[in-house]
Amino acid sequence: MANLDWSQCDAVESVPGKVSGAWVLKGTRMPVQTVFANLEAGMSVQEITEAFDGVKREEVEAAIEFVVRSLDKEPTYAA
């Protein structure tokens, strides 16, 4: 699967020097990768927002929706 262009997701940001420039939920230090790792481990969105200070349900859902929308696009193949 191709890498997602997280710059197109309004709920996340990448700031040099903040969590090593990783994509994080905007206004937090919560890496997007950690959100999906916790979902994969069986946590619910509510459990994630309760376990991590400052993480809002809307931000987590926006990141998930961004991934879902990206899967709706036609794949592009290298020539």
**Segment 12-46, tens digit of pLDDT:** 999 999 999 999 999 999 999 999 999 999 999 99
Measured distance CA(71)–CA(52) in Å, rounded: 27
DSSP-based three-state secondary structure for 76 = coil
CB 45 within 8 A of CB 56: no
Q: Between residues 56 and 2, which one has the greater pLDDT? A: 56
Note the pLDDT of residue 8: 92
In this prediction the pTM is 0.82
| Sequence-distant (≥ 6) Cβ neighbours of residue 73 within 8 angstroms | none
Q: What percent of the chain is modeled with pLDDT above 70?
A: 90
Tokens describing residue 39: 């979902």
CB 29 within 8 A of CB 19: yes
Tell me which residue has tokens 């994509």: 23
Mind listing the domains of the chain with CATH numbers? 6-71 (1.10.10.10)
